[in-house]
Amino acid sequence: MSIDLKSKIRDVPDFPKPGIVFKDITTLLIDPEALRESVDIFRRRYEGKDIDLFVGIESRGFIFGTALAYAMNKGFVPIRKPGKLPADTISETYELEYGTDSIEIHKDAIKEGQKVVIVDDLLATGGTAAAAAKLVRKIGGEIVEAAFVVELAFLNGKEKLDGMDIFSIIQY
Protein backbone atom coordinates (compact mmCIF):
# COMPACT_ATOMS: atom_id res chain seq x y z
CA MET A 1 0.00 0.00 0.00
CA SER A 2 1.35 3.40 -0.94
CA ILE A 3 0.49 6.34 1.29
CA ASP A 4 0.68 10.00 0.29
CA LEU A 5 3.10 10.93 3.06
CA LYS A 6 3.20 14.57 2.03
CA SER A 7 -0.50 14.81 2.94
CA LYS A 8 0.40 13.68 6.47
CA ILE A 9 2.63 16.73 7.12
CA ARG A 10 0.86 19.66 8.78
CA ASP A 11 1.76 23.27 7.93
CA VAL A 12 1.90 25.54 10.97
CA PRO A 13 2.03 29.19 9.88
CA ASP A 14 4.14 31.73 11.76
CA PHE A 15 6.07 29.17 13.82
CA PRO A 16 8.57 29.60 15.36
CA LYS A 17 8.31 33.21 14.18
CA PRO A 18 6.17 35.27 11.82
CA GLY A 19 6.65 34.45 8.14
CA ILE A 20 7.84 30.86 8.70
CA VAL A 21 5.63 27.94 7.67
CA PHE A 22 6.71 25.06 9.93
CA LYS A 23 6.47 21.54 8.49
CA ASP A 24 5.09 19.55 11.44
CA ILE A 25 5.77 15.79 11.26
CA THR A 26 3.81 14.97 14.44
CA THR A 27 0.73 14.40 12.27
CA LEU A 28 2.70 11.78 10.32
CA LEU A 29 3.94 10.17 13.54
CA ILE A 30 0.45 9.65 14.99
CA ASP A 31 -0.67 7.80 11.85
CA PRO A 32 0.60 4.21 12.27
CA GLU A 33 0.54 3.42 8.55
CA ALA A 34 2.36 6.65 7.64
CA LEU A 35 5.01 6.07 10.30
CA ARG A 36 5.53 2.47 9.16
CA GLU A 37 5.70 3.55 5.50
CA SER A 38 8.32 6.20 6.32
CA VAL A 39 10.55 3.73 8.15
CA ASP A 40 10.00 1.09 5.45
CA ILE A 41 11.05 3.52 2.71
CA PHE A 42 14.34 4.08 4.54
CA ARG A 43 14.74 0.36 5.28
CA ARG A 44 14.26 -0.59 1.63
CA ARG A 45 16.79 2.05 0.61
CA TYR A 46 19.50 0.71 2.92
CA GLU A 47 18.88 -3.05 2.68
CA GLY A 48 21.94 -4.82 1.40
CA LYS A 49 24.18 -1.77 1.81
CA ASP A 50 27.33 -1.84 3.90
CA ILE A 51 26.12 0.12 6.95
CA ASP A 52 27.20 -0.32 10.56
CA LEU A 53 25.30 2.39 12.40
CA PHE A 54 22.51 4.91 12.12
CA VAL A 55 23.28 8.29 13.67
CA GLY A 56 20.27 10.34 14.75
CA ILE A 57 20.27 14.07 15.38
CA GLU A 58 18.34 15.29 18.43
CA SER A 59 15.50 15.04 18.72
CA ARG A 60 13.31 13.91 15.85
CA GLY A 61 16.23 12.13 14.20
CA PHE A 62 16.06 9.76 17.19
CA ILE A 63 12.56 8.66 16.17
CA PHE A 64 13.48 7.55 12.67
CA GLY A 65 17.08 6.59 13.41
CA THR A 66 16.25 4.15 16.20
CA ALA A 67 13.32 2.66 14.30
CA LEU A 68 15.57 2.11 11.30
CA ALA A 69 18.41 0.69 13.41
CA TYR A 70 15.94 -1.73 15.00
CA ALA A 71 14.40 -2.73 11.66
CA MET A 72 17.85 -3.42 10.18
CA ASN A 73 19.52 -4.91 13.27
CA LYS A 74 22.15 -2.16 13.39
CA GLY A 75 23.38 0.12 16.14
CA PHE A 76 22.20 3.63 16.86
CA VAL A 77 24.27 6.66 17.89
CA PRO A 78 22.66 9.83 19.25
CA ILE A 79 23.95 13.30 18.47
CA ARG A 80 22.68 15.60 21.19
CA LYS A 81 22.58 19.16 22.40
CA PRO A 82 25.44 20.15 24.73
CA GLY A 83 25.48 18.67 28.22
CA LYS A 84 23.10 15.79 27.49
CA LEU A 85 25.58 12.95 26.90
CA PRO A 86 27.16 11.45 30.06
CA ALA A 87 30.64 10.37 28.85
CA ASP A 88 33.48 12.18 27.05
CA THR A 89 32.22 14.10 24.03
CA ILE A 90 33.37 16.27 21.18
CA SER A 91 31.27 19.15 19.93
CA GLU A 92 30.69 21.10 16.77
CA THR A 93 29.31 24.62 16.60
CA TYR A 94 27.32 25.81 13.60
CA GLU A 95 25.66 28.99 12.41
CA LEU A 96 21.99 29.74 12.86
CA GLU A 97 20.07 32.59 11.28
CA TYR A 98 20.73 34.63 14.43
CA GLY A 99 23.70 33.26 16.36
CA THR A 100 25.17 29.79 16.78
CA ASP A 101 24.31 26.42 18.27
CA SER A 102 26.28 23.27 19.10
CA ILE A 103 25.80 19.52 19.05
CA GLU A 104 27.85 16.71 20.63
CA ILE A 105 28.68 13.05 20.17
CA HIS A 106 30.44 10.59 22.46
CA LYS A 107 34.11 10.31 21.48
CA ASP A 108 33.87 6.52 21.44
CA ALA A 109 30.49 6.20 19.69
CA ILE A 110 31.91 5.25 16.30
CA LYS A 111 34.96 3.12 15.57
CA GLU A 112 37.41 4.11 12.85
CA GLY A 113 36.03 3.15 9.45
CA GLN A 114 32.49 2.32 10.55
CA LYS A 115 29.95 3.21 7.88
CA VAL A 116 27.05 5.35 9.02
CA VAL A 117 23.86 6.96 7.79
CA ILE A 118 22.96 10.26 9.45
CA VAL A 119 19.20 10.51 10.04
CA ASP A 120 17.02 13.51 10.83
CA ASP A 121 13.45 14.56 10.22
CA LEU A 122 14.17 17.70 8.19
CA LEU A 123 16.85 19.18 5.96
CA ALA A 124 16.42 22.95 5.86
CA THR A 125 19.52 25.17 5.65
CA GLY A 126 21.86 22.24 6.30
CA GLY A 127 23.74 23.66 9.28
CA THR A 128 22.84 20.95 11.77
CA ALA A 129 23.42 18.12 9.32
CA ALA A 130 26.78 19.57 8.27
CA ALA A 131 27.83 19.83 11.92
CA ALA A 132 26.73 16.22 12.51
CA ALA A 133 28.77 15.09 9.51
CA LYS A 134 31.85 16.86 10.89
CA LEU A 135 31.41 15.10 14.24
CA VAL A 136 31.05 11.68 12.59
CA ARG A 137 34.18 12.25 10.49
CA LYS A 138 36.20 13.59 13.45
CA ILE A 139 35.79 10.30 15.30
CA GLY A 140 36.51 8.16 12.26
CA GLY A 141 33.10 7.37 10.79
CA GLU A 142 32.51 7.10 7.07
CA ILE A 143 29.24 8.65 5.94
CA VAL A 144 27.27 6.56 3.48
CA GLU A 145 24.42 9.06 3.22
CA ALA A 146 22.30 11.56 5.12
CA ALA A 147 18.60 10.67 5.23
CA PHE A 148 15.68 12.99 5.92
CA VAL A 149 11.93 12.58 6.01
CA VAL A 150 11.42 16.12 4.68
CA GLU A 151 13.70 18.35 2.60
CA LEU A 152 13.01 22.04 2.11
CA ALA A 153 14.86 22.10 -1.22
CA PHE A 154 14.25 25.82 -1.74
CA LEU A 155 16.59 26.54 1.20
CA ASN A 156 19.51 24.78 -0.57
CA GLY A 157 20.65 22.85 2.51
CA LYS A 158 22.44 20.31 0.28
CA GLU A 159 25.01 22.99 -0.56
CA LYS A 160 26.35 22.93 3.02
CA LEU A 161 26.79 19.15 2.90
CA ASP A 162 29.85 19.19 0.62
CA GLY A 163 28.69 16.69 -1.98
CA MET A 164 27.51 14.16 0.61
CA ASP A 165 24.86 11.78 -0.71
CA ILE A 166 21.42 12.92 0.46
CA PHE A 167 18.09 11.10 0.47
CA SER A 168 14.76 12.63 1.41
CA ILE A 169 11.32 11.07 1.26
CA ILE A 170 9.37 14.30 0.83
CA GLN A 171 10.57 17.48 -0.91
CA TYR A 172 9.12 20.97 -0.82
Say which of 10, 33, 36, 97 is annotated catalytic. 97
- The three-state secondary structure class of 45 is helix
Q: Is 36 a catalytic residue?
A: no
Contact between residue 94 and residue 130 where contact means Cβ atoms under 8 Å apart:
yes
Q: Is 45 a catalytic residue?
A: no
Q: Which candidate, 171, 139, 134, 135, places its Cα nearest to that of 153?
A: 171
131-154 per-residue burial string, b: 16 or more CB within 10 A, e: under 16: bbbbbbeebebebbbbbbbbbbee
Q: Cis ω on the peptide bond leading into residue 59 (within 30° of 0)?
A: yes
Say which of 37, 45, 60, 151 is annotated catalytic. 60
- The three-state secondary structure class of 158 is helix
* 9 DSSP assignment: P
**Dihedral pair phi/psi, residue 63, rounded to 5°:** -60, -55
The catalytic residues are 60, 97
